[in-house]
């Protein structure tokens, strides 16, 4: 086990047998500032800084020294930044909207990794609107398609897919007939590499003798103007939480999730669902109840009488090379202090406590049968910070995955990792110690910039720093 010590306010690069760590100088950060870690190309890591009325692009070398900084200019003042997307190794795209009178204009700027403007594209106009549309943005796994949509008044509006490779809108459609009422709220929207989308709507997800819980899935194919609607009945189970993703290699819509049978307040096991594209009636679902030992280990309650687990979110689903999948769940608890309005913190809000605890990892065979199940232990507690420094970062390598996280939510803390292999074996290592250094690492906002590197932001006392970890 190696321990790594940082030195206050210094620019450092430290070599270990396992990893190399570099830390940038401090950058002043206003309360209204935002940033995106864009990616890495030609030895430079780019960061886009959004200061609401000022926009900058920063480039960092491998030892996290700032190589250059350039101002990003827009056609009009006060653009709304939707996000950045590094679609290839030569350039990245910045998506934004501009407002003029009663019109909103959605545009994209493409920059190379020297910060030079390559092209500006007008994607779509929104005329005669009193308010600027609140667009949500997601991209396909291969980063070639961008899904943008708006939800207003419990309806899905303005759904379209933009093709990065052709710089054109691939298709546009209206989903206003889809009501997002209490009994039919939107669970998730998935976009695949071809630009098809899948709206997931849970239905009748409550105990009933007369109704069976099911998913209504609305598929919009980019080659046809019609929508395909199909239902997936879930036998006798209720879904506690789930995560959908499209397996582009095997052409399946896949969900990993937690289920219960009577009481949705607790999950009693895991389920795995595969829906073949073009043949939804051939879907397969398997469910696997927890054994008591797993419940006790995950809840850290030996000899508990609990018959399930609670306050647990399915974070992500990863596809295995053989067509199976890995599902990662995390126990997340939020509680208020002071009895609602009886207590307010410095920002005038009621105080909140955040607990991000153990991880549950499930590996499924392509058939849906459970391959293995593991509990990875961690305990993270913080208050009044929206849980910004809790949870974990998942780093993928060809031979394993690494789950990196703060042991404690404080400055002067140890950073640990779990190395998880394909057969379920794992080991825990301490990789970093921030003692005597003003670092407060946000692993939930880290970005993997290569097969061996990740960039982690640190925010502490209105100072921003970036930490590069290379294995």
In terms of domains, do 330 and 366 share one? yes
Phi/psi zone of residue 261: left (φ > 0), alpha (ψ -120 to 50 degrees), beta? alpha
- For residue 408, give the 3-state DSSP assignment: coil
Q: What is the pLDDT of residue 32?
A: 80
Element spanning 379, H or E: none
CB-hemisphere CA count at 13 Å for 211? 12
Q: What is the pLDDT of residue 6?
A: 30
Residue 279, in any domain of the structure: yes
Residue 429, in any domain of the structure: yes
Choose the final residue of a domain: 363, 387, 411.
387
- For residue 228, give the 3-state DSSP assignment: strand
Cα gap 277→11, rounded to integer Å: 51
Look at the block and give the residue holding tokens 């960039």: 455
- For residue 206, give the 3-state DSSP assignment: coil
CA distances from 178 to 173, 204, 319, 378 (A): 12, 16, 30, 40
Cα gap 469→64, rounded to integer Å: 11
Q: What is the pLDDT of residue 124?
A: 95
Residue 213, in any domain of the structure: no
In terms of domains, do 247 and 349 share one? yes
Residue 60, in any domain of the structure: no
In terms of domains, do 375 and 364 share one? yes
Choose the final residue of a domain: 326, 357, 387.
387
- Tell me the residue range of the domain where 301 lies: 240-387
Residue 147, in any domain of the structure: no
Residue 426, in any domain of the structure: yes
Choose the final residue of a domain: 359, 387, 415.
387
Q: How far apart are the first and last CA of the chain?
A: 15
Residue 252, in any domain of the structure: yes
Contact by Cβ (8 Å): 19, 469: yes
Cα gap 192→379, rounded to integer Å: 35
Residue 200, in any domain of the structure: no
Q: What is the pLDDT of residue 187?
A: 75
Q: Where are the alpha helices (DSSP H) in 284-419?
A: 292-299
| Ordered mean pLDDT values, 10 residues apiece, the chain (471 residues) | 30 50 92 91 94 92 96 91 92 94 94 95 90 90 95 82 96 84 68 96 89 94 89 93 96 96 92 96 96 96 90 95 94 81 47 96 97 98 95 90 95 92 94 85 96 94 93 88
- For residue 163, give the 3-state DSSP assignment: strand
Q: What is the pLDDT of residue 347?
A: 43
In terms of domains, do 404 and 463 share one? yes
In terms of domains, do 380 and 414 share one? no
In terms of domains, do 351 and 271 share one? yes
Q: Exposure string (b/e) for 341-352, b if CB count within 10 Å is 16 or more?
A: eeeeeeeeeeeb
Q: What is the pLDDT of residue 196?
A: 97
In terms of domains, do 381 and 309 share one? yes
In terms of domains, do 274 and 339 share one? yes
Tally of structural domains, the chain: 2
Cα gap 127→398, rounded to integer Å: 48
In terms of domains, do 398 and 370 share one? no
In terms of domains, do 371 and 467 share one? no
């Amino acid at each position: 086990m190696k321990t790594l010590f940082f030195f206050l306010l210094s620019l450092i690069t430290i070599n270990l047998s396992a990893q190399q760590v570099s830390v940038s100088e401090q950058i002043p950060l206003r309360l209204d500032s935002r940033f995106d870690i864009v990616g890495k190309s030609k030895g430079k890591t780019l960061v886009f800084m959004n200061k609401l009325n000022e926009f900058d692009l920063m480039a960092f070398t491998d030892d996290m020294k700032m190589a250059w900084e350039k101002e990003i200019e827009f056609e009009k003042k006060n653009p709304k930044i939707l996000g950045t997307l590094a679609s290839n190794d030569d350039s990245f795209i910045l998506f934004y909207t501009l407002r003029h009178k009663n019109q909103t204009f959605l545009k994209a700027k493409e920059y190379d990794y020297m910060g030079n403007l390559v092209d500006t594209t007008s994607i779509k106009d929104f005329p005669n609107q009193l308010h600027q549309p609140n667009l949500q943005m997601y991209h396909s796994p291969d980063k070639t398609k961008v899904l943008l949509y708006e939800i207003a008044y419990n309806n899905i509006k303005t759904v379209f897919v933009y093709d990065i490779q052709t710089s054109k809108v691939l298709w546009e459609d209206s989903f206003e007939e889809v009501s997002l009422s209490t009994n039919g709220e939107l669970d998730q929207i998935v976009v695949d590499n071809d630009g098809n989308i899948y709206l997931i709507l849970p239905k009748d997800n409550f105990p009933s003798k007369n109704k069976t819980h099911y998913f209504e899935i609305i598929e919009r194919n980019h080659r046809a103007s019609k929508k395909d609607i199909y239902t997936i009945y879930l036998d006798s189970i209720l879904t506690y939480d789930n995560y959908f993703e499209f397996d582009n290699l095997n052409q399946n819509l896949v969900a990993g999730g937690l289920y219960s049978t009577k009481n949705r307040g607790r999950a009693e096991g895991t389920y795995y669902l595969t829906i073949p594209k073009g043949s939804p009636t051939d879907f397969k679902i398997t469910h696997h109840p927890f054994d008591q030992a797993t419940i006790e280990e995950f809840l850290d309650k030996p000899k508990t009488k609990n018959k399930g687990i609670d306050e647990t979110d399915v974070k992500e689903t990863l596809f295995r090379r053989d067509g199976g999948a890995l599902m990662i769940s995390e126990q997340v608890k939020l509680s208020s202090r002071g009895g609602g309005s009886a207590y307010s913190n410095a920002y005038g809000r009621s105080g909140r406590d955040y607990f991000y605890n153990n991880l549950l990892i499930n590996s499924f065979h392509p058939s849906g049968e459970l391959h293995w199940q593991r509990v990875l232990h961690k305990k993270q507690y913080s208050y009044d910070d929206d849980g910004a420094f809790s949870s974990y970062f998942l780093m993928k390598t060809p031979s394993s995955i690494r789950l990196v996280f703060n042991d404690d939510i404080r400055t002067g803390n140890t950073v640990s990792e779990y190395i998880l292999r394909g057969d379920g074996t794992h080991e825990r290592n301490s990789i970093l110690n921030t003692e005597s250094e003003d670092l407060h690492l946000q692993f939930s906002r880290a970005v993997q910039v290569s097969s061996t590197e990740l960039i982690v932001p640190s925010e502490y006392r209105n100072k921003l720093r970036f930490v590069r970890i290379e294995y």
